[in-house]
Structure 1
Amino acid sequence: METRLVPYETLSLVQKQQLDTLQVHPEQLPYSGDIYCALNSLLVNPNPAGIKGFALLADDLPVAFLLLKRPPCLPHWADEHSATLHALQVDRHQQGRGFGKACLQALPAAALQAWPQIKALELSVDADNVAAMRLYLGAGWVDSGEAYRGRVGYERRLRWTFTSEA
């Protein structure tokens, strides 16, 4: 099965309709939100240059979605030279098949194509979200060691720094 991470705006109308049906498990909603909220953030943002959506296609079928943000949409905790990852969602019927990992593997190249000037990627993850922590750390993200009070509980900041090979 071929996977590729593509910008939301390049999806066909049929793929956008398929993406609208993406659902995460109910226990994941506090962490990632749902596809409606993610797409709403993307499509109604007054600063479209500061937010981009990406879909992971598996044989041309959308199976996952994520958002990247840059100034002026960066959260307060992020470095201005970074892009931040938000709302990573893998369809509940597709989970456990490596699609979250595929998103993270393809993300550095996609982020640099969108914003060649960025120096790193950052994210904030609930410290109790064990599956997400395992996914990010396993993909090479580095925990900053800092925790802060977030929406759900304590959150950890993780970072992916670009090297010359990225």
Structure 2
Amino acid sequence: MELIHFQETYASLVDAYVLSEEQLRFTAHPSKSIPLCKAEPNRHAILGVENDRLVVYFALHEQEGVQPYSDNPRAILLRTLSTDYHELGKGYGKAALQQLPEFVQYQFPHINEIVLAVNIANEFARKLYVKYGYKDTGRRVIGSKGMLIVMSYPLEVRV
């Protein structure tokens, strides 16, 4: 799987992306996130593509997007991470989390921390984040879908 920035040529892949009702309890469909990324220069739509299929989607949000979750001006927020419903259980979400630190270091060399907020009821996702090195910061934020646990992954800065 390759992580790439969204471009209009991938729009048909987004149209074919499926999330279940259960998944939509905790995240938004890429079709809701991508317009926000287009409108805000500090939001970046990222696709996980495997064999010309969109298997994972997330957004990375810098500056004002991070502020409710971290006081670090050099942090980036991981938002709306999801795996296509038909691709669940195949390791794509894990692969995205494994690739993310290096991807961020390469694409955003000024960033030194990845921050995310996971719904307190989404125990599966929380355990997955812990497995891949994210730590609970102790910070809690009320989101549109309930209480969120803020987690952090420090990065080594490349100069």
TM-score by length of 1: 0.86
Q: 1:77 aligns with which of 52, 57, 69?
A: 69
Q: Do structure 1's residue 68 and structure 2's residue 66 form an aligned pair?
A: no
Q: 2:27 is matched with which residue?
A: 32
SS in 2 for 1:55: strand
Q: Structure 2: where are the runs of 5+ without partners?
A: none
Cα displacement (A) at 1:53: 1.2
Whether the 8 Å CA contact 1:19–1:63 is kept in 2: the answer is: no
Deviates more, 1:96-105 or 1:28-37: 28-37
Q: 1:150 is matched with which residue?
A: 143
Instruction: Give the direction of change, closer, same or farther, for the CA distance of 1:164–1:117 in structure 2 (3 Å limit).
Output: closer
Q: Do structure 1's residue 163 and structure 2's residue 159 form an aligned pair?
A: no
Amino acid at match of 1:66: F
Q: 2:122 is matched with which residue?
A: 129
Whether the 8 Å CA contact 2:120–2:149 is kept in 1: the answer is: yes
Q: How is 1:108-123 mapped onto 2 (pairs within 5 angstroms)? A: 108-123=101-116
SS in 2 for 1:135: helix
Q: Structure 1: where are the runs of 5+ without partners?
A: none
Query: In 2, Cα distance between the equivalents of 1:55 and 1:81?
Result: 23
Q: 1:54 is matched with which residue?
A: 46
Cα displacement (A) at 1:140: 1.1
SS in 2 for 1:155: strand
SS in 1 for 2:103: helix
Q: Do structure 1's residue 139 and structure 2's residue 132 form an aligned pair?
A: yes
SS in 2 for 1:31: coil
Query: In 2, Cα distance between the equivalents of 1:154 and 1:73?
Result: 17
> How many residue pairs end up in the alignment?
157
Query: In 2, Cα distance between the equivalents of 1:141 and 1:104?
Result: 10
